[in-house]
Structure 1
Amino acid sequence: MAIQFDCPFCTSTLKVPDSTAGKQGDCPRCGTKLVIPNPFAAGTAAPAADTAPVTPVPPPEDAPTPPPASQAAEQIPGAPPVDVTAPRPRSSVTAQYLRKRRRSNMGGIILFLFFFSAMAGVGGYFYWTYGLRLEGNLVAARISSDAAKLEQRLNPESAGVSEEVIKTVNQNLLETPRRVQSDLMDMLFYGPEKGGLEVRLKPGTDTQLVRVDLTGDPALMDYISKNGAQLDQPRVAELQAALKNFYTDWNAMIQNQGVLPDLLHYRNTVGLNSLLGGLGYHMEARVNHKIYPCVHEDSNGGLYFLVPKGTLQFNIQGREMENGWKTFPGKYEVQVTQEYQSQP
């Protein structure tokens, strides 16, 4: 029959022969010295409590520190070998508490997400039903061919180029104006006699200039008054960067007698941006699923578009930016109802 007991330090279950009862040995797992219990002495009657002398209990000695696992355990000579089995798993009250706490926390998180989603859905419903609605119908007027002309003076002083470069480029364009012409539009870069640099835009051979009156929708006008400055920031930033590159490239062409800069690129980034405002920069017209640009924005609530000749109805909406987003969330159906002999 073998004696089975647990090591008090590493809790390994040990089995030894009966003949080793009461002897001292080493735990083969942690190397701690221990006394093998004697189960046969358990039935021996203890002396009476009133006759046994009271012996002071010495203070407990510090438990020996188990040696590192890397060191081999040394057995006392003559001590029998001790069998080792894997320690028995023990239940942990702390582990059970932590598991319950994690489950309770997860339930709270799920409940919070549920209520948050529900509130967001309710808020979205009310906003969609009763909130800002940038849609509806607007009217437009065709600008007669004689008056269909837009002009804008450029201001390169804040573009970060030297005054000498500005004068050189302006003088060159005064002597030789440059035109970018297509079926869509005709844009001219030129230096006027009074100095400086200007751009002039006219409709192309296949298009007409129309002015959309935005004042017909109070919600749209309120949107512009609240968001106009923010809408204009990307336009201004793009214009300033493009204007600096325009003067730099044009001056390099003059000095090196090189290739003419990409005028189509500068038509869009310099010419059109100088004619637009914050809202117009983000808008486009759709005619038969084709895109036509917004080319001007005045201070009286008017947006100007180039659309095919004879167009009587079209849509305007936010254009898709380079990042794939549409800043303007609205969409309007426009009816061309009259013609202006001169610009309003």
Structure 2
Amino acid sequence: MAIQFDCPYCTSTLKVPDETAGKQGDCPRCGTKLVIPNPFTAEAQPPTQKEPTQSAPQQQPVEQTSNTEQTVDQTNDSPPASIQPAPMTSATSRYLRRRKKSNWGGIVLFLFFFSMMLGVAFYFYWIYGPRLEGSLVAARLNSQSAKLEQRLKPAGLGLSDDVIQSVNQHLNETPRRVKSDLMDLLFYGSEKGGLYVRLKPGDKTELVRVELTGDSALMDYISKNGVQLDQPRLAEYQSELKQFYTDWQHSLETGEDVHNLINYRNTVGLNSLMGGLGYHMEARVNNKIYPCVHDDFQGGLYFLVPKGTLQFEMTGRELKSGRTPFPGKYQVQVTQEYPSAP
């Protein structure tokens, strides 16, 4: 016969020979020292955990049977048999599940507090960080000498030299003006070669130069985002300039007039005079929009505004895509006058 009992610590089922009754051994699963119960006595000795002493019976290693029951090996000289892990008990499974849930709870809690900290940091940056708003000053240019000029650069656009020279020569002989109450823009060629644009205020407008260097946050924004802001302007300018030469050459060959000069005034003429920041800016006077027409890259933006304007709002321009890349808004006071164009 054999004695069969459960380990009171890991609940594994153990099976040992009858002659080991009352002796002390190790549970092969959890390693706990325990006393093998004696079913032949009137009252079985309860399993207890004791420290081994010199007078205690020799500890017997326990090995696992093939049917997941445990037995005690009585021979100390033979090597211990290979032990196969017993199936996980329900108590162990519950413990592991609780531990896994506890780990996930800690991770979720950490992510929650981390997100809260990021939110607080963003809030304070938004409230107290650099803001693209405030007041700037501007000066009007003398109307008698106020003009802006720029040479167009068709090189690298895939146009033949014959087309470029033909159009430049024609506009040298016959300059083309696009005039309105807002502005007077002239496309003209030069005796030395090349094609130029010249911009003057219209009959009802004047040029003002806004000084940007008085706002450190704005200058920092320009320094960090200038290249990115200029990408859409440059792409539009190069594409439209190529089409400008193509349309004009077609006009010379067929005798047809170039009809979309106002579009070329804006996409070629004004884009050649501006940088990335100016491309994204506009002035608002009495809820009417007036364009930025020049960026001198020395901290000055030029706008066409109604004559006699004393203040206006400088803000971001909404693009055709619906986006407004420049997020700022400034109130501009026109406080002085330049004697001549810079």
TM-score normalised by the chain length of structure 1: 0.67
The answer on whether the counterparts of 1:152 and 1:200 sit within 8 Å (CA) in structure 2 is: yes
CA shift at 1:323, angstroms?
Answer: 1.8
Aligned to 2:154: 156
CA shift at 1:104, angstroms?
Answer: 8.9
Between the aligned partners of 1:105 and 1:266, the Cα distance in structure 2 is: 65
Between the aligned partners of 2:334 and 2:228, the Cα distance in structure 1 is: 30
Q: Does 1:234 align with 2:236?
A: no
Change over 3 Å in CA distance of 1:257–1:104 after alignment to 2: farther
Change over 3 Å in CA distance of 1:110–1:163 after alignment to 2: same
Aligned to 2:79: none
Change over 3 Å in CA distance of 1:242–1:105 after alignment to 2: farther
Change over 3 Å in CA distance of 1:102–1:322 after alignment to 2: farther
Q: How does 1:167-316 map to 2 (within 5 A)?
A: 167-316=165-314
Which stretch of the first structure deviates more once superposed, 125-134 or 329-338? Answer: 125-134
CA shift at 1:232, angstroms?
Answer: 1.1
Aligned to 2:8: none
Q: Quick one: which amino acid aligns to residue 143 of structure 1?
A: L
CA deviations 1:240-294 (Å, max 9, x no partner) are 1111000011101111112324100000100000000111111111111111100
Aligned to 1:328: 326
The answer on whether the counterparts of 1:174 and 1:191 sit within 8 Å (CA) in structure 2 is: yes
Aligned to 2:136: 138
The answer on whether the counterparts of 1:250 and 1:261 sit within 8 Å (CA) in structure 2 is: no
Change over 3 Å in CA distance of 1:108–1:187 after alignment to 2: farther
Aligned length: 252
Q: Quick one: which amino acid aligns to residue 221 of structure 2?
A: Y
DSSP-derived class of the 1:326 partner: coil
Q: Quick one: which amino acid aligns to residue 238 of structure 1?
A: E
CA shift at 1:116, angstroms?
Answer: 5.8
The answer on whether the counterparts of 1:151 and 1:201 sit within 8 Å (CA) in structure 2 is: yes
Between the aligned partners of 1:330 and 1:251, the Cα distance in structure 2 is: 42
The answer on whether the counterparts of 1:249 and 1:261 sit within 8 Å (CA) in structure 2 is: no
CA shift at 1:216, angstroms?
Answer: 0.8
Q: Does 1:319 align with 2:279?
A: no
- The alignment-based identity, stated in percent, is 70
Change over 3 Å in CA distance of 1:109–1:309 after alignment to 2: farther
The answer on whether the counterparts of 1:253 and 1:261 sit within 8 Å (CA) in structure 2 is: no
Aligned partner of 1:339 among 314, 333, 337? 337
Q: Quick one: which amino acid aligns to residue 260 of structure 1?
A: V
Q: Quick one: which amino acid aligns to residue 269 of structure 1?
A: T
Change over 3 Å in CA distance of 1:339–1:105 after alignment to 2: same
Q: Quick one: which amino acid aligns to residue 272 of structure 1?
A: L
Q: How does 1:17-96 map to 2 (within 5 A)?
A: none
CA shift at 1:183, angstroms?
Answer: 0.9
Change over 3 Å in CA distance of 1:199–1:101 after alignment to 2: farther
CA shift at 1:105, angstroms?
Answer: 10
DSSP-derived class of the 1:216 partner: coil
Between the aligned partners of 2:181 and 2:320, the Cα distance in structure 1 is: 25
DSSP-derived class of the 2:213 partner: helix
Between the aligned partners of 2:320 and 2:101, the Cα distance in structure 1 is: 46
CA shift at 1:124, angstroms?
Answer: 2.2
DSSP-derived class of the 1:127 partner: helix
The answer on whether the counterparts of 1:158 and 1:240 sit within 8 Å (CA) in structure 2 is: no
CA shift at 1:156, angstroms?
Answer: 0.6
CA deviations 1:321-340 (Å, max 9, x no partner) are 12222111111110000111
Between the aligned partners of 1:105 and 1:335, the Cα distance in structure 2 is: 61
Change over 3 Å in CA distance of 1:256–1:217 after alignment to 2: same
Between the aligned partners of 2:320 and 2:110, the Cα distance in structure 1 is: 37
Q: Quick one: which amino acid aligns to residue 243 of structure 1?
A: L
Aligned to 2:120: 122
The answer on whether the counterparts of 1:139 and 1:337 sit within 8 Å (CA) in structure 2 is: yes
Moved segments of 4+, more than 6 Å: 99-110
CA shift at 1:118, angstroms?
Answer: 2.6
Between the aligned partners of 2:115 and 2:264, the Cα distance in structure 1 is: 47
Between the aligned partners of 1:171 and 1:106, the Cα distance in structure 2 is: 76
DSSP-derived class of the 1:273 partner: helix
DSSP-derived class of the 2:303 partner: strand
CA deviations 1:296-337 (Å, max 9, x no partner) are 000211000000111000010111112222111111110000
Q: Structure 2: which 5+ residue stretches go unaligned?
A: 1-93
CA shift at 1:101, angstroms?
Answer: 12
Between the aligned partners of 2:98 and 2:303, the Cα distance in structure 1 is: 66
CA shift at 1:132, angstroms?
Answer: 1.9
